[in-house]
């Protein structure tokens, strides 16, 4: 019984953490590029990143299976490098979580970066700072609140991910049975007790993470 509770908690947070780290790194870069550059095809690129926000999870799951499955373009590359496929592993669950939570980060961080006064960046350039330095010491620190908000949203979305994960990583006990999936299967099997415990833990952890983030943000002493 304990394994049935602890493993889903562990694997859910493991997947959500790895996915959120990836989302943080790539999402901020994408958000900066979308906020500060104009280039041909920018609209299309933004649409592509945002699409998972509006597509049904099953559709995302299906498309991901096509992409990273045994015959998929990415799937074949992964097979060549690793010598094994990644379908029905926790890594596949990370890919699913990453895909659905990336747009939340990109949209929130982009808005925050756009809100940073460009003149502050110009001032830093004039003081001899390169664009990368300026982004790291001026723009991103000033957009921190937005980026943190994006991170919280992305993490929460990853924790709650169900549809695409089920299609890509399946429901393998001790391997890919995340909390959401465990709740569903416990409910299906009539194991209400387990479902209730998992639901309660999920609610408590979600509340905790949101209030912690709130506290962290409030500690900022400067006004932007």
Residues that bind other proteins (CB under 8 A): 117, 119-120, 122-130, 133, 137-138, 141-142, 221-224
Q: CA–CA separation, 114 vs 116, rounded Å?
A: 5
Q: Specify the residue, 3 or 131, whose C-beta has the smaller distance to other proteins.
A: 131
**Beta carbon of residue 76, minimum distance to other proteins (angstroms, whole number):** 43
Place of tokens 């019984």: 1
Instruction: Give buried/exposed letters for 138-150 (b at 16+ CB in 10 A, else e).
Output: bbbebbeebbbbb
Q: Specify the residue, 139 or 182, whose C-beta has the smaller distance to other proteins.
A: 139
**Beta carbon of residue 217, minimum distance to other proteins (angstroms, whole number):** 14
Q: Specify the residue, 47 or 120, whose C-beta has the smaller distance to other proteins.
A: 120
Q: Specify the residue, 130 or 196, whose C-beta has the smaller distance to other proteins.
A: 130
**Beta carbon of residue 223, minimum distance to other proteins (angstroms, whole number):** 5
Q: Specify the residue, 129 or 175, whose C-beta has the smaller distance to other proteins.
A: 129
**Beta carbon of residue 218, minimum distance to other proteins (angstroms, whole number):** 16
Contacts of 39 by beta carbon, 8 Å cutoff, 6+ apart: none
**Burial of 50: CB neighbours in 10 Å, binned 0-12, 13-18, 19+:** middle
Q: CA–CA separation, 106 vs 48, rounded Å?
A: 12
DSSP 8-state assignment for residue 128:
T
**Beta carbon of residue 155, minimum distance to other proteins (angstroms, whole number):** 24
């Amino acid at each position: 019984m304990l394994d049935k509770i602890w493993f889903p908690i562990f694997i859910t947070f493991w997947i959500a953490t790895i996915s959120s780290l990836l989302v943080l790194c790539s999402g901020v870069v994408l958000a900066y590029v979308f906020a500060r550059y104009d280039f041909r095809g920018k609209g299309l690129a933004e649409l592509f990143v945002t699409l998972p926000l509006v597509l049904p999870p099953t559709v995302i799951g299906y498309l991901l299976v096509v992409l990273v499955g045994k015959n998929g373009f990415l799937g074949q590359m992964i097979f060549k490098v690793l010598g094994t496929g990644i379908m029905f592993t926790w890594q596949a669950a990370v890919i699913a979580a990453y895909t659905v939570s990336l747009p939340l980060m990109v949209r929130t961080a982009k808005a925050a970066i756009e809100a940073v006064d460009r003149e502050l960046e110009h001032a830093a350039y004039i003081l001899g700072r390169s664009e990368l330095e300026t982004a790291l010491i001026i723009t991103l620190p000033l957009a921190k609140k937005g980026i943190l908000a994006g991170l919280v949203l992305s993490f929460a979305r990853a924790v709650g991910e169900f549809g695409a994960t089920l299609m890509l990583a399946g429901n393998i006990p001790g391997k890919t049975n995340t909390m959401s999936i465990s709740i569903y299967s416990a409910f299906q099997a009539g194991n209400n007790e387990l479902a209730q415990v998992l639901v309660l833990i999920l609610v408590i952890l979600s509340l905790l993470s949101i209030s912690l983030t709130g506290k962290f943000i409030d500690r900022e002493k400067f006004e932007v």
